[in-house]
Amino acid sequence: MASAFDTLGYAKRLETAGISRKHAEAHAEAAKDFIMPELATKADIAELKHIIERQSLALTVRLGGLIIIGVGALATLIKLS
């Protein structure tokens, strides 16, 4: 996964706020290593959207099949009555 996290900019921002350079760099690296991998990327969201669309289609087909079977069973019961 490509990470677009700017560790240098993050560390500089912390330094500007009064954190020592050593601590700012360590915090930036920790954020990149432990926080960034947990975030969803655009590719992750696109893949999830594709999976949801595929499942939606499968559910629509199944529902259509159940309706056809139900109508057929009902027609059979009416004809037998």
Q: What's the average model confidence in pLDDT over 46-73?
A: 97
Structural domain boundaries in the chain: 1-39, 41-81
Contacts of 37 (CB under 8 A, 6+ apart): 1, 3
CA–CA gap between residue 48 and residue 52 (Å, rounded): 6
More confident residue, 15 or 2: 15
**pLDDT tens string 38-53:** 888 889 999 999 999 9
**pLDDT tens string 20-34:** 999 999 999 998 888
pTM to 2 decimals? 0.55
CA–CA gap between residue 60 and residue 54 (Å, rounded): 10
